[in-house]
Structure 1
Amino acid sequence: MGGTTRTERTDGHGRLGSALSGLAVAVGCLLFLGGFVWGALVYQPYTVPTDSMTPTVMSGDRVLAQRIDGADVRRGDVVVFTDTDWANAPMIKRVVGIGGDTIACCDADGRLTVNGTPVEEPYLRHQGWGGGKTASPTGFSATVPDGHLFLLGDQRGSSQDSRVHLKEPGQGSVPRSTVTGRVDAVVWPFGGLVDRPQGFAALPGGISRPGPAEPLAWAVAGGAALILGGAAYGPLAKLLGRSRARRRT
C-alpha cells in the first residue's frame, strides 16, 4: 500500500527540527545582539574610584550606570557625577537630599533625618563609629538649594562628601546638572543589582524605579541559550540517528 515510509517520516521530522533550530538561532541572535545594543545605549560602565561607597560598591568594582538627566534623580539613588569644586573627575555617592530639603544628623536614635523625618539606612552596615549606632561619626545640618543634591558616601567614616563642603556655597550640595548616571548594577566582580532604598520611599517624590538591567541581562542570557541550543541540534540529531541505525542492524 502507499503509506508513508519510516524514512519519509524521519526526513520530515529532520526538516522540521532543522527549521526550528534555525529559528531558535535567529531569535537568539536577535535577543543577544539586541541586548548588547540596548545596554550600550542605556548604560555607561564605570570603575569605582574609592572605598567611600563600601559596602554597596567597592573600590575597583565595575558598575553599570544608567544614563539619566539630573532632573530624574531621586533620594536614595547612587549616582555618578562630576563637579569641578570637588575633584573634577567622576565620583560615586548616594543622594540623601534634594532641593528644599533640610538634612541633619543625627537624631536621638542616631539616624539621618530629612525635613525632620528619620531615614532607615540598612545599606550602611555600620563600621564602628558611635558604637555602630549612628548614621555619621560627625553631626551636621544643611539646607539644600533648589536644583541641587546633597550627597553622602555609604562609608561615612571616611567618605569625602557633602559634609566636607558644608562651609562652601550651597552647603555642600552639587547641581543636578553634574549627574551623568545612576548606578544600577555591579558587573565585576559580579554583585548583582543595586537596590533602591525603601527608607526614602515615604518622602515626597518617592524613590526611582529600577532600571532595565535585569530584563537586559535576561535577554542576553536567553539569547545565548537559544543560540547554543539551536546550534547543538544538528550534531545531536546526527548522533541520535547513528545510534538508532546501529540498533536496527
Structure 2
Amino acid sequence: MSYPNSDCYQLACLASNIFSFHWLMTHPNRINESFGWHFQYLTIIGLSLTTLTFSIGLLADISLSPALFRIKNSLSVASAPMELLITLLYWGLRAIDPALVLPPDLPQLPLAADMSFHLFPVLGLLADLLLFSPPYAIATIPAFGLSAGIALVYYAWVELCFANNGFYPYPIFDEAGLQGRVILFAGSAVVMGVATALLKSVYGAVNGWDVDGDASHPATRESRKAR
C-alpha cells in the first residue's frame, strides 16, 4: 500500500534526477561522443537505477499495484547500497585527490550539479527506505552475491569501453593498473555488501525491526503499512 506523501516525495526525487540528466544533455563534452556515453560512469548507472526505482515507486503509489510495489522494493535493494557506495567512493577519493575521479580535461561540475549527481540520490533513497518502505528481505550472503555480480558486470563494461575509447572513465582506473583495478572492484563489492547490511541495521534501529524483517516492537510494525 502507499504511504502518505510518498508520491510527492518520489516526484521531488525524480525532479532532482531529471535535472542531472538535463545537465548531461545541455553540457556535452567528449564523453557524449565516446562509446558507452556517460553510462561508462558508475555514477550515471546508479543514477539511472535510482530514477527507475523512484519511477516504479511513483507508479505504484498512483496505481496501488502490489506487483509494482514489489518491483520497486526489489530495485531499492540494489540502488540504495550502490548509491551509498558511489557517494563514499566519490567524496572519499575526491578528498584525497580530485584528479582520481575528475579528468583534468573535462569541465568541473558546479556545486548544484555535483550534489545532484553524487549526494542527493543516496539521501533520497535512504529517506525513502526509512520512511516509506518495508525492510529489505535479502539475506547477508545473497546481498554480497548481488554486490559481487554488479561489480563483475561493471568491470567487464569498463574494459569494453576502454577497448573502444582508449581511456577509462575514472583516472584512478588507469593509475591503479590491472592488479589495482581488480582490488578496487573487489573492495567495492565488499563495501556495497556491507552497506546493505548496514542499511538493514539502521532500518531496524529507526523502525523497530530486526535485520531479518521480524518485528521487535509489534505496535511499531502494525503502525506501518506493508507494501
Q: For this structure pair, what is the TM-score category when the shorter chain's length is used for normalisation?
A: under 0.3
Q: What is the TM-score when the length of structure 2 is the normalising length?
A: 0.27
Q: What is the TM-score when the length of structure 1 is the normalising length?
A: 0.26
Higher helix share: 2
* Structure of larger gyration radius: 1
Higher strand share: 1
